[in-house]
Every structure is written in C-alpha cells, then in structure tokens.
Amino acid sequence: MTVSAQGVAREGVIDLSGGAGPLVSQRWLTERLRDPSVRLVEVDVDPKQYAAGHIPGAIGLDWAKDLQHPTRRDVPEPGVLAKLLGERGINERHTVVLYGDSANWFAAYAFWLLKLYRHADVRLLDGGRSQWLADDKLPFTTELPSFAPETYRIGAIDLSLRATVAEVLPLAVAASARAGARTHAGADAGAHAGAGATSLVDVRSPDEFSGKIIAPPGLNETAQRAGHIPGAISIPWGSAVNPDGTFKTEAELRKLYIEDKGVRADAPAIAYCRIGERSSHTWFVLRYLLGLRDVKNYDGSWTEYGNLIGAPIDKA
C-alpha cells in the first residue's frame, strides 16, 4: 500500500509510539534519517544488495550470518544477538526501522526476531528497498555508517510470538481426525474446526503446499516428506504485496486472508513456511496489518514438520 504522509495508515491497529504504526512510509523515514533515536537496518535476501548501496545511515545485517544460530537451526542466542546489535550501535531503546529486498521478505524475519526478543519499537519500511531505489530523488550511498557501540539489553524470548511443534502437532492430529470423520460420514460437516480454533496458514508456494515439490530448487535445508500440515490454509506470502513490493491495503488483505481464505480474525493464528522466514512476513501481516491479537510464527516450519516420523501430512 502507499502509505499517507505520516505512515499512519495502520494507526489504531497497534500503536507502538509516536502515532505511526509499525509500517512506515518513505516520507516518515526521510524525516527521521538523522534522528539519533532511530536506527535503520537493511536485511536482504541477497546481502550483495546492501553492499552495492543503501539508504544513508542504514546498518546492514546478514540474515544467514547474523540472524541465525550458526549450527542449531534456531534463532541466535540472546547474548550473541545483543552483542552484535550493540556493536553496530543499536540499543534496546532505539526505534529500529527495517527494510530489505524482495518486498521486505527477510526484513520481516528480522522484525519478528527483534519482537521475539522483546525489542519495544520496531518498524518496517513499506515497499522496502525496491521502492526506495525506484525514486531517483531519494538518497542512496555505499558509505557505511559508523555509530558508537552501545550496550543492548536483550529480553527473554517472547513465547507468545513463536509456535513450536508441540503446539502444532496436536492441531494437525485433530484436523486429520476431523478429515477422517468427514470421509466416513460422507458429508462436509465438520470440515472446519470449531469457533476459536487456531488458523494454520501455510505461506509456501502452491507446489510446496500440494506436495509436488519439497522445497524451492537449490535449497539445502529441507524435509524428507512433501505436503502440508493437515488443516492448514494455503496463502502464499507474496499475496500480501503489490507488484511494487508495497503491502496491499488493509481492506484487500482483510478480504484475502479473512473473507476469502477463512483465517479467523477472532482466534489464534500460526503461520509457517519452510524455515520460518517467509512466514515472518505473513506473521507481520496478520499481527500488525490485520490486527489479530494472537499470531505466532512456527519457525520450525516444514523443514521440521516434514521430517517428523508419524506426523499426519496432507497433499493436494
């Protein structure tokens, strides 16, 4: 969406501070490029993008090296992340504005990660890197920022933002049982879980959802089995954005996720993908742009679930 002057399009959904919501506009950012309380951070799918040029003052973080545990397929340990952020000149009181390539794909993952560690004020730049690049009047540089180191006091992981397999598996088993009952009854009654039941949103590509492929070609982290978690709704993450990388309007998103696809606005939701990055993007949409109160990212995602012995899996 093209956000109005102050980036307040999301005001009232979640008002973190200062009147602007978590999704901010280019104009909101340009007015704050020299604001010492703001730290701008770029996270790209391809880290070469940052090196080739970035918004002045932007700190570059590498999603693979900086924002993952090096060996455990997990988020970074708190001490490690705190040290990194502090060294780059970020403390926990800064307003951190994230942006990146591919419609903020990995920037949204960084957003989730910072919220997971309870960073108070995190924003996402609508349109991300490509929209900024598209406007020749906006400044762009290869100069690296040099902020004095800070001490980052990191919080404990906020488990209300993260789903684990222990939470997902019972949902899958129940959905699978409902589907079985439906088959025996020969009716479509009971197709959906009852009111208040958690929506599982699979944000991978249709071919991954249907089980035609296990993962996009050429990727290392993968599962042994193909398909999706029983009961999951397929809404590829890219459906939330316009071709220019900006988010669709709240009305469009509401229609897509809630009215058309059946995500429950008044119930918990869990988003998953292959390794938890694409689902961070959808997590952001559900939590902040649609205002669902209880949204978790299942970052174990298909790479974990699709390797579980005996787990129910649906195809097609």
Tell me if 130 contacts another protein by CB under 8 A: yes
CA atoms of 1 and 70, how far apart (whole Å): 35
- Residue 281 CB, shortest distance to another protein, in Å, is 10
22 backbone dihedrals φ, ψ, rounded to 5°: -70, -20
Instruction: Identify the sign of the CA torsion 260, 262, 266, 272.
Output: negative
Q: Should residue 245 be labelled a site residue for another protein when binding is judged by CB under 8 A?
A: yes
Contact stretch for another protein (CB under 8 A) within 8-16, 83-91, 135-143, 162-170: 135-143
The 3-state DSSP class for residue 28 equals helix
Residues numbered 41-60 forming contacts with another protein, rule: CB under 8 A: 45-46, 48-49, 52-54
Smallest distance from the beta carbon of 213 to another protein, in angstroms?
9
CA–CA separation, 38 vs 95, rounded Å? 5
The answer to whether residue 169 is catalytic is: no
Q: Which two tokens stand for residue 65?
A: 């090296």
Nearer to another protein (CB atom), residue 133 or residue 173: 133
Contact with another protein (CB under 8 A) among 39, 94, 123, 129: 129
Asked if 276 interacts with another protein (CB under 8 A), we say: no
The partner residues of 59 in beta bridges, in order of sequence, read 41
Does residue 105 bind another protein (CB under 8 A)?
yes
Of positions 37, 141, 151, 224, contacts another protein by CB under 8 A: 141
- If one asks whether residue 205 binds another protein (CB under 8 A), the answer comes out as yes
Which residue's CB is nearer to another protein, number 102 or number 198? 102
CB atoms within 10 A of CB 93: 12
Per DSSP, the three-state class of 197 is coil
Interaction between residue 78 and another protein (CB under 8 A):
no
What Cα–Cα distance (Å) separates residue 73 from each residue in 140, 158, 218, 226, 273? 34, 18, 18, 20, 14
Stretch that binds another protein, among 65-73, 174-182, 237-245, 293-301 (CB under 8 A): 237-245
Residue 248 to residue 256: CA distance in whole angstroms: 10
**Candidate list 219, 224, 262, 315; residue touching another protein; CB under 8 A:** 219
Of 225, 222, 58, 218, whose CA–CA distance to 142 is shortest? 58
Q: Which of 123, 178, 278, 296 binds another protein (CB under 8 A)?
A: 278
Asked if 32 contacts 38 with a C-beta cutoff of 8 angstroms, the reply is yes
Please, what is the minimum distance in Å from the beta carbon of residue 66 to another protein?
17
Q: Is 133 in the site for another protein (CB under 8 A)?
A: yes
Cβ atoms of 171 and 198 closer than 8 Å: yes
Q: How many residues bind another protein (CB under 8 A)?
A: 30
Residues at the site binding another protein, with contacts judged by CB under 8 A: 45-46, 48-49, 52-54, 101-103, 105, 129-130, 133, 136, 140-142, 205, 216-219, 236, 238, 241-243, 245, 278
Residues catalogued as catalytic: 273
